[in-house]
């Protein structure tokens, strides 16, 4: 999208360079099971400023004193975890890159989460792009004045807090075998914390422990990567470990309730030029005549599962629980990234860290490229110049 950067990159690109890039990216880590794109996204200053403004508008809503009351119904009763804190530690906002009425590129909000993303991997990925493709310093994957040293310092503060690294663990059901495990390993290398599967953690009274070298070590803080939606139908996974819904002597980063509060559930409360018209389905009094311009999304789903793109009146009428769905005006992505064989659609995730007692800080970003009907990996399996990447933003 920055013509000079794009032209230079495409001119010097070779398949051999790409293979060398992937090799370097995986060096010292397990093989990456998701597709990493051939190219970063070069984001012009004007679009970067719109992305920043769009994020600030969303944060203004989240910081309202009544935000918890507004989103209380988002938390399913059987997944409400005690001891919720006052703020999420992470905010991630996904924007599709579109064209506005004047033909200028503009972001449109697609998804938002109060849940961690690839905060470790994105820095590793960006450095590897820069090394392998000789990307100059007029663009940056960091935002808001951050550099690597400042970023790692804040990341450490958010994840570890006042504890020692061995008292903090990144946790998922089967952490080392998750699709995003490379992020876990990069994070461990950056911060020195443990990576634990759920079954590695045992409960004694209200405290949690893991065993290392025959010693029992108390966990004080959990960097939570477990999404309850993924285990909702299999609560047996908690039997040999602990149930997060119990009152426990543990600090959460971030507390699981924020996954629900900051989600598709929040979008109907946002009114902005950067947010598509979104309504709870149970509040839609008249079905729009132009349903082809809408998409139907379940509030609680992961990685695009359950989304109905080509909506019919019958789809709407057959939803048994409309309060758990949203009807959203479709967003038309602009194929703004020029690959050798034509335009590619892009989505940019703006990623914030929010330390205890501090303010949310925009630090880094993630981008995804797509030629398929939707952005996700499963919709782009047979294409090249698609997949996970990063935005290098004009300084």
Question: What are the tens digits of pLDDT across the range 171-226?
Answer: 999 898 899 999 999 999 999 999 999 999 999 999 999 999 999 999 999 999 99
Q: What is the value of pTM for the model shown?
A: 0.94
Residue 312 has pLDDT above 60, yes or no: yes
Q: What is the mean pLDDT of the chain?
A: 94
What is the pLDDT confidence band of residue 380, given thresholds at 50, 70 and 90? Answer: low
What is the pLDDT confidence band of residue 272, given thresholds at 50, 70 and 90? Answer: very high
- What percentage of the chain has pLDDT greater than the value 90? 88
Instruction: Return d(Cα 371, Cα 342) in angstroms, integer.
Output: 10
Contact 391, 365 (CB under 8 A): yes
Tokens at residue 331, please? Answer: 């967003």
Residue 303 has pLDDT above 60, yes or no: no
Instruction: Return d(Cα 101, Cα 312) in angstroms, integer.
Output: 27
pLDDT at 236: 85
More confident position, 161 or 236? 161
Average pLDDT over residues 56-63: 97
pLDDT at 283: 95
Residue 289 has pLDDT above 90, yes or no: yes
Contact 359, 343 (CB under 8 A): no
CA-to-CA separations, 275 to 14, 175, 271, 314, 328, in angstroms, rounded: 38, 34, 7, 26, 10
Q: What is the separation, in whole angstroms, between the first and last Cα of the chain?
A: 14
pLDDT at 232: 75
CA-to-CA separations, 211 to 74, 167, 221, 239, 247, in angstroms, rounded: 36, 12, 16, 18, 22
Q: List beta partners, residue 279.
A: 327
pLDDT at 376: 65
CA-to-CA separations, 302 to 42, 173, 258, 290, in angstroms, rounded: 28, 16, 15, 27
Residue 105 has pLDDT above 80, yes or no: yes
User: What digits encode the pLDDT tens for the residues 136-162?
Assistant: 999 999 999 999 999 999 999 999 999
Average pLDDT over residues 84-109: 96
Instruction: Return d(Cα 9, Cα 279) in angstroms, integer.
Output: 41
Instruction: Return d(Cα 371, Cα 6) in angstroms, integer.
Output: 18
Residue 229 has pLDDT above 80, yes or no: no
What is the pLDDT confidence band of residue 379, given thresholds at 50, 70 and 90? Answer: low
Helix, strand, coil shares of the chain as percentages rounded to 5?
35, 25, 40
Total residue count of the chain as it appears in this document = 395
Instruction: Return d(Cα 368, Cα 76) in angstroms, integer.
Output: 30
pLDDT at 230: 79
Average pLDDT over residues 283-304: 87
Contact 328, 110 (CB under 8 A): no
Tokens at residue 144, please? Answer: 């808001």
pLDDT at 234: 81
Instruction: Return d(Cα 106, Cα 68) in angstroms, integer.
Output: 30
Instruction: Return d(Cα 312, Cα 331) in angstroms, integer.
Output: 17
pLDDT at 222: 98
Domain residue extents for the chain: 3-276+331-394
Q: Which residues of 221-253 are buried (b: 16+ CB within 10 A; e: fewer)?
A: bbbbbbbbbebeeeeebbeebbebeeebebbbb
Residue 377 has pLDDT above 80, yes or no: no
Average pLDDT over residues 335-344: 95
Output phi, psi for 101, to 5 deg.
Answer: -60, -25
């Amino acid at each position: 999208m920055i013509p000079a950067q794009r032209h230079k990159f495409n001119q010097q690109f070779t398949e051999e360079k790409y293979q060398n890039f992937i090799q370097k990216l995986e060096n010292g880590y397990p093989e990456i099971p998701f597709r990493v794109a051939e190219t970063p996204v070069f984001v012009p200053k004007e679009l970067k400023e719109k992305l920043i403004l769009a994020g600030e508008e969303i944060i203004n809503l989240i910081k309202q004193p009544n935000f918890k009351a507004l989103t209380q119904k988002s938390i399913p009763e059987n997944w409400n975890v005690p001891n919720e804190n006052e703020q999420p530690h992470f905010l991630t906002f996904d924007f599709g890159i579109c064209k506005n009425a004047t033909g200028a590129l503009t972001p449109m909000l697609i998804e938002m989460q109060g849940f961690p993303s690839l905060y470790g991997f994105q820095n590793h990925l960006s450095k590897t792009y820069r090394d392998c493709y000789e990307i100059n310093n007029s663009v940056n994957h960091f935002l808001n004045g951050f550099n690597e040293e400042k970023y790692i310092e804040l990341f450490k503060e958010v994840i570890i807090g006042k504890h020692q690294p061995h008292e903090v663990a990144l946790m998922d059901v089967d952490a080392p075998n998750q699709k995003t495990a490379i992020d876990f390993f990069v994070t461990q290398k950056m911060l020195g914390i443990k990576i634990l599967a759920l079954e590695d953690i045992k409960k004694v009274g209200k405290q949690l422990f893991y065993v290392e070298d025959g010693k029992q070590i108390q966990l004080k803080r959990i960097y939570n990567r477990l999404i309850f939606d993924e285990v909702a139908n299999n609560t047996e996974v908690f039997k040999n470990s602990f149930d997060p819904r119990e009152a426990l002597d543990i600090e959460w980063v971030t507390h699981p309730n924020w996954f629900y509060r900051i989600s598709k559930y929040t979008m109907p409360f946002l009114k902005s030029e950067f947010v598509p018209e979104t309504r709870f389905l149970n509040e839609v009094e008249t079905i729009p005549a132009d349903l082809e311009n809408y998409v139907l999304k379940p509030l609680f789903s992961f990685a695009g599962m359950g989304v109905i793109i080509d909506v019919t009146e019958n789809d709407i009428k057959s939803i048994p629980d409309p309060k758990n769905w949203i009807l959203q005006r479709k967003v038309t992505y602009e194929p703004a990234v020029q690959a050798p064989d034509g335009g590619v659609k892009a989505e940019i995730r703006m990623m914030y860290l929010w330390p205890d007692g501090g303010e949310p800080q925009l630090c880094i970003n993630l981008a995804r490229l797509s030629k398929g009907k939707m952005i996700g990996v499963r919709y782009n399996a047979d294409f090249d110049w698609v997949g996970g990447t990063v935005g290098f933003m004009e300084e």
